[in-house]
Amino acid sequence: MLKYKRISLKLSGEAMGGAQAVDFDKAEAIARQVARLHELGAEIGITIGGGNIWRGRSSGDMDRNRADQMGMLATVINSLAVQDCLLKLGVPAVVMSSIDMPRIADSYSSRAAHAALDAGKVVIFAGGSGLPFFSTDTAAALKAAEIGADAMLVVTPYYNKATQNGLIKTFTAIADASTKPVILYNVPSRTGVNIKPETAAELAKLPRVNGIKEASGDLDQVAKIHELCGDELNIWSGNDDQIFDILERGGKGVISVLSNIAPKETHEIVASYLNGDRKTSKELMDKYVKLAKAMFVDVNPIPVKEAVSLIGFNAGPLRLPLIEMDESNKKYVKETMEEYGLVK
């Protein structure tokens, strides 16, 4: 039984890039993974970028409106490729475009998308938002809201720093405005604001607050949250090097960076623990902790994008303010992945 049934999936166009603009081996690999989710009963909406073909913001002196329109058309090409792969696997799939092109794709509307998802079809959203100057990341967030995705992950405010009471009021307002479960995200190293255990306990009383992604790094705090909240608040590790330690303190799993390059191994750390095999879970955690830490040798997600590229997926360029790692960090990431047999 899936905990979250209606899923909004955002795919980078670079995930489909290769020697040709569209690498059908990669498109087929994506389709196979989507097909497995579909078999489990998931209702899936996919928003695909077009960066493997064209990027409007990298178009030099070209008029940005026209450049972004070309980028929207690139997302249509990628969407049709994934649709074709899904149909060949026997998975019903429809492409809906934010740009009217009735001979190529269905026109997007929230009502039509809901009807297709309810009918068991995978819906592939093409054309981004249909507007220039907005990335497909923005389009994916909008589509997730419009199709009624089953949950959202909400980080603490990070510019105007909130008091603990301010956090309670902010998350309460978000939860009250939502029809879906809310997962709190506590990452004070990035936001400068820590959700204290007492604050988490107060927020756990809200019916739509489902859990917390805990990335404070403070294991005593995690234990205190579990002590105060019990099973009223699910705790997921937000730090890959602390998966086992957080499970020991009442955690239910991990929202992971490591899983991008070692999905099976990350799953087994959690699954073995939840199945009562603490010994195997601890051994796996000890084995993969070096790899997990290598993904944070520079500002996340810089190292993991490098790592994903090394295993054969074109993760695309970084966006400012993120920049390429220096050569010593690149060398360390590659050597660590070689040590784990992920690259040759």
Closest residue by Cα to residue 214 from 173, 155, 151, 139: 155
Contacts of residue 287, defined as CB under 8 A and 6 or more positions apart, other chains included, come to: none
213 is catalytic: yes
Helix (H, G, I), strand (E, B) or coil at 88: helix
Centre a 10 Å sphere on the Cβ of residue 69 and count the other Cβ atoms it contains: 19
Distance between CA 102 and CA 105 in Å, rounded?
5
Distance between CA 26 and CA 29 in Å, rounded?
5
* Options 26, 121, 143, 213, the catalytic residue: 213
Distance between CA 344 and CA 322 in Å, rounded?
27
**Helices 278-294 & 263-274, crossing angle to 10 degrees?**
150
Helix (H, G, I), strand (E, B) or coil at 47: strand
Distance between CA 169 and CA 131 in Å, rounded?
33
159 is catalytic: no
What number of residues does the chain have?
344
Distance between CA 82 and CA 13 in Å, rounded?
11
* Options 26, 121, 185, 288, the catalytic residue: 185
Q: What are phi and psi of 122, to 5 degrees?
A: -80, 130
User: Known catalytic residues?
Assistant: 185, 213
